[in-house]
Amino acid sequence: MNGRRSYSSLVIALATVATAVTAGCGDDDAAVTAGVTRPQYVAQADRICAEGDRRLAKEARVALRRYGSRPPDAELERFADERAIPILTERLADLRALEQPASDEAELAEAYAAAERSLDRLRRDPALLERAEAVFRPASRRAAAYGFTECAGRGSAVESLAEEGG
């Protein structure tokens, strides 16, 4: 990474990562099974995503208060390692633990595997946090296509933080 990153760049990167780690894919039809429906699954997942976004936004506020609007590269990488990646990893595990619509299990498994591959890239190179949008773009598109709101980054707490600090 070169130089220092701006407040808005950090927050936008977090919003992108938070969104993409929760990606699903598919069409808009509600898959009705003996268990959970797609709308029920999306609602449960969006609650998990909203909470994760709030946690990431809180952590970003703390870090940015400490380092100002342009944290040094080393601090951005430390933030990715110590704060963002653990929160995102936990959230992905929580989402995978939800009961899924039976007709969507293979679709979600594939989508979560794509999100995990992107998260693995971030684990190997925390500096990628500043380019999270590109790293997680395929997973982000799947989240929106599946029907997520919070998990697709629409109305997220981290996105709100970007707007207030931008």
How confident is the model over 67-90, as a mean pLDDT? Answer: 86
Domain boundary assignment for the chain? 7-28+35-165
Considering the entire predicted model, what is its pTM? 0.75
Phi-psi category of 4—alpha, beta or left, where left has phi over 0 and alpha has psi -120 to 50? beta
Separation between Cα atoms, residue 19 and residue 143, nearest integer Å:
8
Determine the distance from the C-alpha atom of residue 32 to the mean position of all C-alpha atoms in its chain, rounded to a whole number. Answer: 26
What is residue 1's predicted lDDT score, i.e. its pLDDT?
44
Q: Is the pLDDT of residue 31 over 90?
A: no
How confident is the model over 74-92, as a mean pLDDT? Answer: 90
Q: Give the residue among 110, 82, 85 at the shortest CA–CA distance from 96.
A: 110
Q: Is the pLDDT of residue 126 over 60?
A: yes
Q: Is the pLDDT of residue 65 over 60?
A: yes
Residue 74, class by beta-carbon neighbours within 10 Å (0-12 exposed, 13-18 middle, 19+ buried)?
exposed
Q: Cβ distance 26 to 106 under 8 Å?
A: no
